[in-house]
Amino acid sequence: METRDLGRVAYLPAWQAMQDFTAARDGATPDALWLCEHEPVFTQGVAGKAEHLLSPGNIPVVASNRGGQVTYHGPGQAVAYPLVNLRRAGYFVKEYVYRLEEAVLRTLVHFGVTGHRVAGAPGIYVRLADPFSHAALEKKNSFEGLGKIAALGIKVSRHCTYHGVALNVAMDLEPFSRINPCGYPGLETVDLSTIGVSTTLNEAQAVLGQKLAAYLAP
């Protein structure tokens, strides 16, 4: 897997580049992992409902072809776009999502944080009262007491993935209050900074990139 750091880029050119890469690749094209952060933007997934976009204000809204509902991207958020040939890797979409989430969980462990999955709600969550607690969730299908720290949204075309995962590192979280994050009214969104982890975007991106490269390997 070839890793590229794109730096801070606008969302639309990055999305177009992913589509172009995926359309042009063949069975011999190496997989890639693109790391970046975006200028402020709300993106709607293919199933996105207008009622979840509450008051976007001056932040642009893009109708994307990824899965899921509305989310926000902005400076201070580590965005990773794995471009993986699933047929060659030897696993299916459900396992791909599991591996994405596992890479985020292992990234959080690196910083001493325990992340959690919530049944039926892709992404990674942390316990607001004690994000460093190792205790398992009592309610595995509830957001009670949790904040979302990483969002997932993917697209698969001809067995090849694009879009990916966004981990909140140290960002302005206010724009999340203008939406129902991922379609869930009242869901709190957090970042590493607000739960007490002091790190840089570059460090968090590097760790996330290493974990993704490891967990997405065939």
Distance from C-alpha of 63 to C-alpha of 21, rounded to nearest angstrom: 20
Determine whether 36 is an active site residue: no
- At a CB cut-off of 8 Å and minimum separation 6, what does 67 contact? 45, 46, 47, 153, 154, 155, 163
Place of tokens 């207008």: 50
Distances (CA, A) of 22 to 90, 170, 171: 18, 31, 30
In the chain, alpha helices (H) = 11-24, 86-89, 93-110, 201-215
**Residues 48, 50, 55, CA angle at the centre, nearest 5°?**
120
Place of tokens 């892709």: 122
Using CA atoms of 218, 69, 42, 194 in order, give the dihedral in degrees to the nearest 10.
-70
Per annotation, catalytic residue among 79, 152, 182, 208: 182
Residues with catalytic roles: 182
